[in-house]
Amino acid sequence: MLTLVAEIVAEPGAAKQLKPLLDRLVGQTRKEYGCISYELYQESETHFLMFEEWFDQAALDKHMASVHFAEFNAAATQSNLLQQVKIRYLSRLN
């Protein structure tokens, strides 16, 4: 299993536009084969966290190459909604 956190920072004032795009991405991603968990949290007005669990790297790679991920990325980028995205891989201790 592969676990990661995506830290997503919206441009100031862009969170209200970004949130529906993230919600749609969550809904579509949860239907993917290989997705164990895909949870969105809002830490502050501009900071979002996506906690993800995947069966393996191949499932994550397929997600990153999916049409709905590309559509999210294009919409968020073209509208200048994203300030930063940082992905951290987590290791289970037990």
Taking only the tens place, the pLDDT of each residue in 35-82 is: 999 999 999 999 999 999 999 999 999 999 999 999 999 999 999 999
Residue 94: per-residue pLDDT: 75
Answer whether 46's CB lies under 8 Å from 12's CB: yes
DSSP H/E element including 19: helix 15-29
Answer whether 59's CB lies under 8 Å from 35's CB: yes
Q: Where are the beta strands (DSSP E) in the chain?
A: 2-10, 35-42, 47-54, 82-90
Answer whether 21's CB lies under 8 Å from 78's CB: no
